[in-house]
Amino acid sequence: MASDPITTGTTTWSDRFDQGLHPAIERFNASIGFDLELLEQDLDGSVAHARMLGRCGVISEAEASELIRGLELVRAEAAAGQFNPGLEAEDVHFAVEHRLIALLGPLGKKLHTGRSRNDQVGTDVRLWLRSQIDLIDGALVRFERALLAQAEAHANTLIPGYTHLQRAQPVCLAHHLLAYIEMAERDRSRLADVRQRVNISPLGAAALAGTPVPIDRRQTAEELGFDDVYANSLDAVSDRDFAVEFMAAASLVMVHLSRLSEEVILWASEEFGFISLTDRCATGSSLMPQKKNPDVPELVRGKSGRVFGHLMGLLTMIKGLPLAYNKDFQEDKEALFDGVRTCRDCLEAMAILFEEGLEFRPQRLEAAVASDFSNATDVADYLVAKGIPFREAYQLVGGLVKTCLAEQVLLKDLPLERWQQLHPGFEADIYAAIAPRQVVAARRSEGGTAFDQVERQLQRIRTRLATTGQKG
Ligand code: ARG
């Protein structure tokens, strides 16, 4: 007959088993190598569960207090680096239970009354993810603040705007940066939405069907700060939608960071020359002494793939699972842990990059917008203001640009006679109308790049961020 696995630390289960696990299978099966990340949450969940068992009269209040004391001892041991369970513990839940029994004796065996590791692990992961979402929100706010500071400093700087990566129309640099703040704000709102569905308690669903033990799920849910409890015990232990939703939201965070990274990498190239990298975030080459490399945005761009991969991994892991709990779910941990860590690290790195890792080069930017045909639309708009139909003006200007390219002359350098030959509507004020600063200032439609419109955006974001508490 097998002995009690919990007290002996062997990997046999109950008296149903005669033999221990094959050592390779023990390793294969265990999650203790990574799920100690959930230790705090596991202890919090167990404390709430023990207190509830006491209040409901399942165990005595004195026993509940003793269990809680034991759990706090485990917490203290862990803080002192003295809680280092081995493979035989299998996972964090068993590791805590083993230790509790070692500390308290037989009373420790009462903790698991009315629950299963299935609802326990679901509770732990939700508590963990909830706190990580709050940290990511704080990291998004810091990133937005870094962008905002650059936008404030460049409310009057121009930068070429592109479509198809071809020069299109000049824009205000602040306008460009504010676009990324808009993306980050959507990320925050998506994460806040996901958080609502993360914050539902599965505890008390037990293995799958609920429990005959007279527990009170609302009590543990309330103590743990959950907004509600799962209505269906099968759904409670087998729902990982929240993990997918989180990874989808994190993937979009990474998409946004990666797009910005790509721009920074281009801007830092000699071909663009729109920014210089400071020594704080750039690295040199081991071979080429002249090099200064944008490693930070390159890594962010590269790391985005890990998060998208975790999203696919989670969807695929879940899609064929019958109700209710399946061990496949153990695979959600490393995906979530790595996805969260990657997203947080990348947000922090990009915030630092914009805080102190790069400097825009206003002269280069100014020269860039003054030396192209990105004011051609404004010539057409000038004629439109004189009553010429847009399509006709568009054709005229198209022809003009073609000649200018052939003659290697910019629109601003054409003499007035040439303008008037093209159309009698042109007057001397055409030069002012096509100056880059005027081109930008003219785009006053709501949300446009005109300086007064950008100032309104800045004002809105400033106010929003001023009233946002930085959580992480
Ligand atoms: N380590 C498992 C996980 O991460 C805990 C739950 C195991 N439950 C079970 N009945 N085997 O999902």
220 touches ligand 1 (CB under 6 Å)? no
Give the mean pLDDT per block of 10 residues along the chain (472 residues): 48 77 96 98 98 98 98 98 96 98 98 98 98 98 98 98 96 98 98 98 98 98 98 98 98 98 97 95 82 94 98 98 98 98 98 98 95 93 94 94 95 95 95 96 97 97 86 45
Nearest-angstrom CA–CA distance, 11 and 310: 31
Cβ-contact 91, 30 below 8 angstroms: yes
Enter the tokens of residue 258: 């990666």
91 touches ligand 1 (CB under 6 Å)? yes
CA of 231 to the centre of ligand 1 (A): 21
Of all protein residues, the one whose alpha carbon is nearest to atom 12 of ligand 1 is 330
Q: Rounded to the nearest 5 degrees, what angle is found at the Cα of 225, between the Cα atoms of 131 and 123?
A: 70
The phi-psi region of residue 198 (left if phi > 0; otherwise alpha if psi is between -120 and 50; otherwise beta) is alpha
201 touches ligand 1 (CB under 6 Å)? no
Nearest-angstrom CA–CA distance, 240 and 245: 9
Mutate which of 26, 36, 91, 317 for ligand 1? The one with the most ligand atoms within 8 Å of its CB, which is 91
What pLDDT, on the 0 to 100 scale, is given for residue 217?
98
Nearest-angstrom CA–CA distance, 120 and 116: 6
Nearest-angstrom CA–CA distance, 302 and 262: 10
Question: Mind giving me the DSSP string for 414-444?
Answer: S-HHHHHHH-TT--TTHHHHHSHHHHHHT--
N- to C-terminal Cα distance for the chain? 52
466: Cβ contacts below 8 Å, ≥ 6 apart: none
94 touches ligand 1 (CB under 6 Å)? no
Nearest-angstrom CA–CA distance, 331 and 336: 9
CA of 460 to the centre of ligand 1 (A): 47
330 touches ligand 1 (CB under 6 Å)? yes
State which ligand 1 atom lies nearest to the alpha carbon of 91: 1
CA of 119 to the centre of ligand 1 (A): 9
User: Is 285 annotated in the active site?
Assistant: yes
What pLDDT, on the 0 to 100 scale, is given for residue 3?
45
118 touches ligand 1 (CB under 6 Å)? yes
Nearest to 273 by CA among 367, 180, 356, 374: 367
What pLDDT, on the 0 to 100 scale, is given for residue 471?
47
User: Which candidate in 14, 164, 286, 445 is catalytic?
Assistant: 164
Nearest-angstrom CA–CA distance, 20 and 22: 7
Specify burial of residue 1 (Cβ count, 10 A radius: 0-12, 13-18, 19+). Answer: exposed
In the CATH hierarchy, which fold is given to the domain comprising 369-466? Ribonucleotide Reductase Protein R1; domain 1 (1.10.40)
Enter the tokens of residue 156: 């009057």
400-406 long-range contacts, CB within 8 A, separation 24+: 401/373, 401/376, 404/373, 405/373
Q: pTM of the prediction?
A: 0.94
State which ligand 1 atom lies nearest to the alpha carbon of 333: 4
At residue 109, what are phi and psi to the nearest 5 degrees? -70, -10
23-113: CATH number: 1.10.275.10
What pLDDT, on the 0 to 100 scale, is given for residue 411?
96
Q: At what angle do helices 241-268 and 117-153 cross, to 10 degrees?
A: 30
* Bridge partners, residue 358, by sequence: 277
Neighbouring CB atoms inside 10 A of 184's CB total: 22
Look-up: residue for tokens 């289960």? 13
CA of 371 to the centre of ligand 1 (A): 64
Nearest to 395 by CA among 411, 384, 406: 384
User: Which candidate in 3, 65, 269, 285 is catalytic?
Assistant: 285
H helices, E strands: number in the chain: 20, 6
Neighbouring CB atoms inside 10 A of 166's CB total: 9
What pLDDT, on the 0 to 100 scale, is given for residue 287?
79
Q: Which residues of 190-210 are buried (b: 16+ CB within 10 A; e: fewer)?
A: bbeebbeebbbbbbbbbebeb
How do the domains of the chain map onto residue ranges? Answer: 23-113, 118-363, 369-466
What pLDDT, on the 0 to 100 scale, is given for residue 6?
52
Cis peptide before 64 (omega within 30 of 0): no
At residue 131, what are phi and psi to the nearest 5 degrees? -70, -30
Nearest-angstrom CA–CA distance, 19 and 5: 11
Tell me the per-residue pLDDT of 70-128, one tens digit each, with 9 for 90 and over.
999 999 999 999 999 999 999 999 999 999 999 999 999 999 999 999 999 999 999 99
In the CATH hierarchy, which fold is given to the domain comprising 118-363? Fumarase C; Chain A, domain 2 (1.20.200)
Nearest-angstrom CA–CA distance, 224 and 127: 8
